[in-house]
């Protein structure tokens, strides 16, 4: 049996033939740098998709690269606030670069972010980075009122990662015009199924725009072609998102019935708690990959990406088998 990858929060469906065709056109030009007209067109298409002015869009080869660039550009004389768990590699970058790093613990079972902690910490020059919804809990952490209250403090820069916006429907992008100290990071990796193309973008307030520039020269032509095709024709992605959300609800209901603790999610993955020792390893032995959080966070938690119906059924049947064996032992 081939390996089932439910560990990276990827879209399980390959791009359409039309997107693949566009990628091939770009590959035929590997001897050339990307066409500036296509870069400009993608910037405009994303601006239209986000309903913001084109000047606020910064393109990059992945939202993680944008977050690292923001940390290197703004954290030297600032305190950095992040939540825990989230952004494990980015937090390491912040620890190395920032004046001080504060990580706010999200505690089960609610995983609620306490606003009072943030309010108490933003009197100094501060950079706050929050993923909304959060990975790996799947929870929305901030609302518009909290966002505005943070941004009213002129000493504070706020970055909201909206990698799962298309699944959650939650965004603060429209506030960028009003608040120059706000930036939103997004990606085409998840809902648009272009993880291999590595296209991320920033919806940036003026303070961020003053220091950050689009990494145009680092965007390959094949990736640009794919990105333009999917962002200008979002209907296909919307159908896939509906499918993933329906499957997510089905899997959560099935796992609830067999007694596993599953946390509701506004993303394309589920957080699951289990007392089965080495559950991740047991699934891997059966060619199913999930993300084990015990190495980064709390033992007993795994994150499972929603796959195709067939992949999800195989996951469910195997986890039922493992759970039954655990009860018998």
Cβ contacts of residue 320 below 8 Å, gap of 6+? 258
Choosing from 233, 265, 294, the residue where a domain stops is 233
Q: Range of 203's domain?
A: 17-233
The CATH number of the domain holding residue 196 is: 3.40.640.10
Cβ contacts of residue 306 below 8 Å, gap of 6+? 6, 12, 244, 247, 248, 251, 268, 269, 270, 312
Whether 176 and 285 share a structural domain: no
> What's the angle, vertex CA 211, arms to CA 210 and CA 217, rounded to 5?
110
Cα torsion through 236, 267, 303, 158, rounded to 10: 120
Q: What is the pLDDT of residue 11?
A: 97
Is the bond preceding 265 in cis, omega lying within 30 degrees of 0? no
Whether 183 and 272 share a structural domain: no
User: Residues in the chain with pLDDT < 50?
Assistant: none
The CATH number of the domain holding residue 299 is: 3.90.1150.10
Whether 223 and 246 share a structural domain: no
Do the beta carbons of residue 205 and residue 176 sit within 8 Å? yes
Whether 96 and 139 share a structural domain: yes
Whether 97 and 74 share a structural domain: yes
Whether 116 and 93 share a structural domain: yes
Strand 79-84: give its sheet, edge to edge. 57-60, 200-204, 182-187, 156-161, 126-131, 79-84, 100-105
How many domains would you assign to the chain? 2
Do the beta carbons of residue 63 and residue 161 sit within 8 Å? yes
> Which letter, b or e, does each residue of 31-52 get, where b requires 16 or more Cβ atoms within 10 Å of its Cβ?
eeebeeebbebbbebbbebbeb
Whether 268 and 211 share a structural domain: no
Of 24, 297, 63, the C-alpha closest to 163 is: 63
Of 40, 22, 49, 63, the C-alpha closest to 188 is: 63
Whether 147 and 228 share a structural domain: yes
Whether 227 and 240 share a structural domain: no
> Which letter, b or e, does each residue of 104-116 get, where b requires 16 or more Cβ atoms within 10 Å of its Cβ?
bebeeeebebeee
Whether 180 and 323 share a structural domain: no
Q: What is the pLDDT of residue 136?
A: 97
Choosing from 233, 264, 284, the residue where a domain stops is 233
Whether 109 and 135 share a structural domain: yes
Whether 198 and 265 share a structural domain: no
Pairing of strands 200-204, 261-263: unpaired
Q: What phi, psi does 142 have (nearest 5°)?
A: -130, 150
Q: What is the pLDDT of residue 217?
A: 57
Choosing from 233, 268, 297, the residue where a domain stops is 233
Pairing of strands 200-204, 57-60: antiparallel
């Amino acid at each position: 049996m081939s390996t089932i990858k439910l560990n990276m929060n990827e879209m399980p469906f390959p791009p359409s033939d039309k997107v693949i065709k566009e990628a091939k056109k770009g590959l035929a030009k590997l001897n050339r740098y990307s066409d500036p007209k296509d870069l400009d067109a993608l910037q405009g298409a994303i601006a239209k998709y986000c309903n913001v002015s084109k000047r606020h869009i910064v393109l990059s080869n992945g939202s993680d690269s944008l977050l690292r660039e923001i940390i290197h550009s703004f954290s030297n004389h600032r305190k950095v606030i992040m939540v825990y768990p989230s952004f494990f590699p980015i937090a390491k970058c912040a620890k190395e670069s920032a004046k001080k790093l504060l990580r706010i613990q999200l505690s089960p079972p609610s995983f609620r972010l306490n606003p009072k902690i943030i309010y108490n910490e933003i009197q100094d020059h501060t950079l706050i980075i929050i993923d909304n919804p959060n990975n790996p809990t799947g929870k929305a952490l901030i609302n518009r009122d909290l966002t505005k209250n943070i941004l009213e403090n002129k000493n504070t820069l706020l970055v909201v990662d909206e990698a799962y916006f298309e699944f959650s429907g939650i965004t603060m992008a429209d506030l960028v015009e009003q608040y120059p100290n706000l930036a939103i990071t997004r990606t085409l990796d998840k809902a648009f199924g272009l993880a291999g193309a590595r296209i991320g973008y920033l919806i940036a307030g003026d303070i961020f725009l003053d220091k950050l520039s689009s990494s145009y020269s680092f965007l390959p032509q094949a990736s640009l072609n794919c990105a333009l095709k999917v962002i200008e024709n979002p209907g296909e992605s919307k159908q896939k998102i509906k499918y993933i959300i329906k499957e997510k609800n089905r899997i959560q209901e099935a796992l609830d019935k067999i007694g596993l603790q599953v946390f509701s999610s506004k993303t394309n993955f589920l957080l699951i708690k289990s007392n089965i020792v080495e559950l991740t390893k047991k699934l891997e032995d059966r060619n199913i990959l999930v993300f084990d959080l015990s190495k980064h966070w709390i033992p007993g938690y795994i994150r499972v990406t929603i796959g195709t119906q067939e992949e999800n059924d195989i996951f469910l049947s195997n986890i039922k088998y493992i759970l039954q064996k655990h009860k018998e032992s």
